[in-house]
Chain A
Amino acid sequence: MHNKTLAEIARDLEAKNYSSVEVTQHFLDRIKNLDAKFNSFITVTADHALAQAQAADAARAEGKAGPLTGVPIAQKDIFCTQGIKTSCGSKMLDNFISPYDATVVKKFNNAGCVMLGKTNMDEFAMGSSNENSFYGPVVNPWQENTVPGGSSGGSAAAVAARLTPGATGTDTGGSIRQPAALCGITGLKPTYGRVSRYGMVAFASSLDQGGPMTQTAEDAALMLNVMAGFDERDSTSLDVDTPDFTATLNKDLKGMTIGLPKEFFDERLSPEMAKQIDAVKNELTKLGINFKEISLQATALSIPAYYIIAPAECSSNLSRFDGVRFGHRCENPKSLKDLYERSRAEGFGTEVKRRIMIGTYALSAGYYDAYYLKALKIRRLIHNDFENAFTEVDAILGPTTPTPAFKIGEKSDDPISLYLSDIYTTAVNLAGLPGISIPCGQINNLPVGCQLIGPRLQEARLLNIAHQLQQHTDWHKQAPQIEAN
């Protein structure tokens, strides 16, 4: 049952092949039996899930079921869930029981979905390996001692290990796409503003975007149908119509042109990875797609610009964690200053503190223009490059990551080399565009992914291409071999 896609489970529930309680219990048992190995969940909400499943079954019995009623999913522990711990992977919020639901959580509840639990993540979504969690690293189900990627590493690992048919993630610089690639699943970062950020603990507000992580593009479309939509509580939410993302999955791709940015295929790309992307290209060519070389020159500077803008915003976003109204408070503060400095020093992990420090520096008097303002200007150059490219092509293809998953601990002493694993993903966030990572084979028995980038609000086109590719290939069907203990 657990190998079924979200779409298959939804169809089975509709056909009453099994109940929501049954499928929910099945996944809860699986989490219980297997997750000790992967550490992909921070909180498993079994009682809550079964109550939701019962309600879903009752709704179905009354003929009130929607497309995803009774389907279990997992929420990244960055989305606030009322009455349930929302830790964001941090000691700072280890004791935080959110008094409200994020808009995304409300939407899944309203759709009748069942929440199995809250998935592990890099603390405050800062990281590309999921080693920065207060709750310990997540293990990639494909290979012991290997990272799942981050920051949505718990969601990626849980989907890959078939502990949940789907999970939410958030993507600030690649945090959905990179772990999706490293765990061999499909992960979509929607257009900035497509999915409400209300109730999603902020890392870098102008870059953060929630999205689905699933086995297939079809599943991603189903989940995005629930997640997307204008929210008046989010000033940056786009007030646009939300299409049915499943409606266009089977559109013919003939005549479509995909751009291949030469900057993504330079000497930094390993021959093994280049070979996998080539394979994707061949499949897509068979489906009638044309390819064209394009240039995204400014994306060469996306890592530097990203590692100023994201820390700058995070340094301010994380100021609210001060030990006064919620979250960790140090013992016996001697003064206000002591309360702030000790609560924060104790509550935040190393990487979070490093980013707060760099962001504080980049915004401080005398450095603002040289770093922050400069980064915002480069951001416009990157944005303009994409705009120009999309006058010639319908989508852009490239690798999601430079390499497959690396070993746990391999890069943890070297933040810079870890930052560079975001090399193909951050530009998309800076430009606010939609991007999807889909599995495209393996290198040394570890999955890798390719990334499709679309123009603003063209998620449906990306899902269409990805779905068609998945109809003709089986990369997405490959799953890690997992033995129950």
Chain B
Amino acid sequence: MEWEAVIGLEVHAQLNTKSKIFSGSATNYGAMPNTQICDIDIGLPGVLPVLNMEAVHKAITFGVAIGAQINDQSVFARKNYFYPDLPKGYQISQFELPIVGVGHLDITLEDGRSRRIGVTRAHLEEDAGKSLHEDFQGLSGIDLNRAGIPLLEIVSEPDIRTAKEAVAYLKTLHNLVRYINICDGNMQEGSFRCDANVSVRPKGQEKFGTRTETKNLNSFRFVERAINYEIERQIEVIESGGVIMQETRLFNADTNETKMMRSKEDANDYRYFPDPDLLPVRVTAEQIRQIKSTLPELPAEKQQRFVDDLHLSTDTATTLVSNKALADYFETGLKAAPEHGQLVANWVIGELLGALNKASLDITQCPIPAEHIGTLVARIIDKTISTKIAKTVFETMFNGEGTPDEIIEAKGLKQVTDTAEIEKMVDEIITQFPEQLADYRSGKDKLFGFFVGQAMKASKGKANPAQLNEILKTKLQN
């Protein structure tokens, strides 16, 4: 039988606010345990939450960016359960009335096809603390620094059909949240986390199969592996006569397997109810309009502009916008050679990304300022240097040794374009190799390359290649 997977993703994106969602504690990553907590974060008796307006602003920004309906009234609810990393015994979240309603995200697949994935909702909630399991005489340690950091939980429709689509959706989403500056996207630090709901059904069947939820997938690779494992596991279970149980599973990155964590029967009854300490959040049409008008250019819009205005190829544009920092780098570099978008892009995507990759750096750690890549291209265009020399200059820049012009100057790499100087050089070469000259003149055309090589060598590579060819051709014939 042919099977089809049905996948929905829940992403928890930490909003990059300065303070927590309900208190004035700092949100820096990596602080010493429990040094970023206050009365409110640890749920002391009598404390009360007050909502951070920036968290609301960022949630609305996200909603606007995915063309979603922003609910004019949203309500915070309490999700009640006991866990040591949850100080109040409840998590403040949104349940019935989330701030962001139905929207969508367009993704591009590897084969270039585009698909639209529905977003069911996105809601604000507070993050929990962390349990540490180093041995404290068999006890666990609790660090509440993370407790109360604002999260936007983004829930997709079950529109995704393959692990690759899931990854494409996540990458698109990951890129978007950084474009609109609501989340730093750091997956190692847990700023962007994913749970995957997976079920399978016979191809053509409309009804969904029973789904499982796999938790805490903190890299794109893990998402792909976990989903593929889960799809295969479910098909195997069904084909061998079993049934899929609704359950929560945990991915093990060492074995590439998912393992049952708890079944639906064990699931908590969370007793959601509106948080009486917090009043409904009202958003006006004016606020939404204002946020819309200050929304930065989104990846899809940027890609279109790169193709239409800068005449970049679609592939090039796709690569550049896939990472906001990369696109920003490109656009900064472009200022020094505004008419030569494709050439600047080629340098960025080709030489630069290659070199960064080799050095295990990402674009934000690039040793070459973007302006200098632009200048380098400009020097090729204005014939100061040849493309070949430009590569030398590039390597020098990558080692952090100055601007293109400084390097060209210091190393004397400026291209020779003085006709008289080149003629003089050519004359010397011709006299040095009388035999080869005779052979050439008697019909051995192939020796032209030999003379080009010798002349280039004599000029230390700096002779303008076109001019050199021209002059050599004339001189060799006489």
Answer whether A and B touch in the complex at a CB cut-off of 8 Å: yes
| The residue from B50, B51, B273, B279 contacting A312, defined by CB atoms under 8 A apart | B273
The answer to whether B158 has its CB under 8 Å from any CB of chain A is: no
Q: Using Cβ atoms and an 8 Å threshold, which residues of chain B touch A340?
A: 82
A232 vs B50: C-alpha distance when bound (angstroms): 8
Identify which of residues 315-374 in chain A touch chain B, using a CB-to-CB cut-off of 8 Å. 315-316, 318-322, 324-327, 336, 340, 360, 363-365, 368, 372
| A360 near B45: Cβ-Cβ < 8 Å | no
Could you mark each residue 85-104 of chain A with 1 if its beta carbon is under 8 Å from any beta carbon of chain B, else 0? 01010000100101110100
| The residue from A93, A99, A204 contacting B276, defined by CB atoms under 8 A apart | A204
Q: Using Cβ atoms and an 8 Å threshold, which residues of chain B touch A236?
A: 48, 276-277, 279
The answer to whether A206 has its CB under 8 Å from any CB of chain B is: yes
Identify which of residues 75-107 in chain B touch chain A, using a CB-to-CB cut-off of 8 Å. 78, 80, 82, 84, 87-90
Q: Using Cβ atoms and an 8 Å threshold, which residues of chain B touch A199?
A: 46-47
The answer to whether B476 has its CB under 8 Å from any CB of chain A is: no
Q: Using Cβ atoms and an 8 Å threshold, which residues of chain B touch A93?
A: 45
A selection of 7 A-B contacts at a CB cut-off of 8 Å is A99-B44, A235-B49, A236-B277, A316-B89, A319-B88, A363-B271, A372-B273
Identify which of residues 53-95 in chain B touch chain A, using a CB-to-CB cut-off of 8 Å. 78, 80, 82, 84, 87-90
Could you mark each residue 255-278 of chain B with 1 if its beta carbon is under 8 Å from any beta carbon of chain A, else 0? 000000000000001011100111
Q: Using Cβ atoms and an 8 Å threshold, which residues of chain B touch A206?
A: 276
Q: Using Cβ atoms and an 8 Å threshold, which residues of chain A touch B90?
A: 316, 319
| A98 near B44: Cβ-Cβ < 8 Å | yes
The answer to whether B142 has its CB under 8 Å from any CB of chain A is: yes
Q: Using Cβ atoms and an 8 Å threshold, which residues of chain B touch A363?
A: 80, 271-273
| The residue from A201, A313, A364 contacting B46, defined by CB atoms under 8 A apart | A201
The answer to whether A234 has its CB under 8 Å from any CB of chain B is: yes
Closest to A326 in B: B44
Closest to B37 in A: A325
| B279 near A235: Cβ-Cβ < 8 Å | yes
The answer to whether A307 has its CB under 8 Å from any CB of chain B is: no
A345 vs B233: C-alpha distance when bound (angstroms): 44
The answer to whether B232 has its CB under 8 Å from any CB of chain A is: no
User: How far apart are A312's CB and chain B's nearest CB, in angstroms?
Assistant: 6
| A325 near B42: Cβ-Cβ < 8 Å | yes
| B51 near A235: Cβ-Cβ < 8 Å | yes
| The residue from A86, A98, A235, A365 contacting B48, defined by CB atoms under 8 A apart | A235
| A316 near B277: Cβ-Cβ < 8 Å | no
Closest to A199 in B: B46
User: How far apart are A121's CB and chain B's nearest CB, in angstroms?
Assistant: 13
Given contacts A319-B90, A363-B273, contact A235 B45 (CB under 8 A): no
The answer to whether A80 has its CB under 8 Å from any CB of chain B is: yes
The answer to whether B308 has its CB under 8 Å from any CB of chain A is: no
Closest to A200 in B: B46
A200 vs B45: C-alpha distance when bound (angstroms): 8
Identify which of residues 208-247 in chain B touch chain A, using a CB-to-CB cut-off of 8 Å. none
| The residue from B39, B88, B277, B279 contacting A99, defined by CB atoms under 8 A apart | B39
Chain B CB count within 10 A is highest, among A201, A202, A236, A325, for A325
Closest to A373 in B: B273
Closest to B24 in A: A233
| B42 near A198: Cβ-Cβ < 8 Å | no
Q: Using Cβ atoms and an 8 Å threshold, which residues of chain B touch A315?
A: 80, 271
Binding site for A on B (CB under 8 A): 39, 42-51, 78, 80, 82, 84, 87-90, 142, 269, 271-273, 276-279
Q: Using Cβ atoms and an 8 Å threshold, which residues of chain B touch A365?
A: 269, 271
Q: What 11 additional pairs, Cβ within 8 angstroms, besides A319-B82, A322-B82, A365-B271? A: A96-B45, A202-B277, A234-B48, A236-B277, A320-B88, A325-B42, A325-B87, A336-B82, A360-B271, A363-B80, A363-B272
Q: Using Cβ atoms and an 8 Å threshold, which residues of chain A touch B273?
A: 312, 316, 363, 368, 372
A372 vs B96: C-alpha distance when bound (angstroms): 15
| A324 near B46: Cβ-Cβ < 8 Å | no
Closest to A231 in B: B48
A232 vs B39: C-alpha distance when bound (angstroms): 15
Q: Using Cβ atoms and an 8 Å threshold, which residues of chain B touch A233?
A: 48, 50
Q: Which 9 interchain pairs have the tightest Cβ spacing? A: A319-B89, A205-B276, A363-B271, A206-B276, A320-B43, A201-B45, A199-B46, A320-B88, A80-B46
| The residue from B39, B48, B271 contacting A100, defined by CB atoms under 8 A apart | B39
| A325 near B43: Cβ-Cβ < 8 Å | yes
A368 vs B277: C-alpha distance when bound (angstroms): 19
| B276 near A313: Cβ-Cβ < 8 Å | yes
Chain A CB count within 10 A is highest, among B43, B46, B88, for B46
Identify which of residues 178-210 in chain A touch chain B, using a CB-to-CB cut-off of 8 Å. 197-202, 204-206
| A319 near B277: Cβ-Cβ < 8 Å | no
| B278 near A235: Cβ-Cβ < 8 Å | yes
Q: Using Cβ atoms and an 8 Å threshold, which residues of chain A touch B87?
A: 320, 324-325
Closest to B271 in A: A363
Closest to A100 in B: B39
| B46 near A198: Cβ-Cβ < 8 Å | yes
Q: Using Cβ atoms and an 8 Å threshold, which residues of chain A touch B279?
A: 235-236
Identify which of residues 152-175 in chain A touch chain B, using a CB-to-CB cut-off of 8 Å. none
| B48 near A198: Cβ-Cβ < 8 Å | yes
A100 vs B47: C-alpha distance when bound (angstroms): 10
Q: Using Cβ atoms and an 8 Å threshold, which residues of chain B touch A312?
A: 273
A322 vs B44: C-alpha distance when bound (angstroms): 11
User: How far apart are A191's CB and chain B's nearest CB, in angstroms?
Assistant: 15
Q: Using Cβ atoms and an 8 Å threshold, which residues of chain B touch A336?
A: 82, 84
User: How far apart are A485's CB and chain B's nearest CB, in angstroms?
Assistant: 35
A201 vs B47: C-alpha distance when bound (angstroms): 8
A4 vs B312: C-alpha distance when bound (angstroms): 88
| A197 near B48: Cβ-Cβ < 8 Å | yes
Closest to B22 in A: A235
A134 vs B45: C-alpha distance when bound (angstroms): 17
A368 vs B272: C-alpha distance when bound (angstroms): 9
Q: Using Cβ atoms and an 8 Å threshold, which residues of chain A touch B47?
A: 198-199
| B271 near A235: Cβ-Cβ < 8 Å | no
User: How far apart are B147's CB and chain A's nearest CB, in angstroms?
Assistant: 11
User: How far apart are A444's CB and chain B's nearest CB, in angstroms?
Assistant: 39
Q: Using Cβ atoms and an 8 Å threshold, which residues of chain B touch A202?
A: 45-46, 277
User: How far apart are B17's CB and chain A's nearest CB, in angstroms?
Assistant: 17
A164 vs B51: C-alpha distance when bound (angstroms): 39
A236 vs B341: C-alpha distance when bound (angstroms): 56
Identify which of residues 197-241 in chain A touch chain B, using a CB-to-CB cut-off of 8 Å. 197-202, 204-206, 232-236
| B45 near A80: Cβ-Cβ < 8 Å | yes
Q: Using Cβ atoms and an 8 Å threshold, which residues of chain B touch A324?
A: 84, 87, 142
User: How far apart are B138's CB and chain A's nearest CB, in angstroms?
Assistant: 11
A311 vs B48: C-alpha distance when bound (angstroms): 19
A297 vs B279: C-alpha distance when bound (angstroms): 28
A404 vs B269: C-alpha distance when bound (angstroms): 43
A101 vs B188: C-alpha distance when bound (angstroms): 39
Closest to A325 in B: B42
Q: Using Cβ atoms and an 8 Å threshold, which residues of chain B touch A198?
A: 46-48
User: How far apart are B127's CB and chain A's nearest CB, in angstroms?
Assistant: 17
| B277 near A100: Cβ-Cβ < 8 Å | no
Chain B CB count within 10 A is highest, among A96, A312, A321, A363, for A363
A364 vs B50: C-alpha distance when bound (angstroms): 27
A86 vs B48: C-alpha distance when bound (angstroms): 17
A232 vs B82: C-alpha distance when bound (angstroms): 29
A201 vs B84: C-alpha distance when bound (angstroms): 21
Q: Using Cβ atoms and an 8 Å threshold, which residues of chain A touch B49?
A: 235
Q: Using Cβ atoms and an 8 Å threshold, which residues of chain B touch A319?
A: 80, 82, 88-90
Q: Using Cβ atoms and an 8 Å threshold, which residues of chain A touch B277?
A: 202, 205, 235-236
Chain A CB count within 10 A is highest, among B51, B269, B277, for B277
A429 vs B84: C-alpha distance when bound (angstroms): 34
User: How far apart are B273's CB and chain A's nearest CB, in angstroms?
Assistant: 5
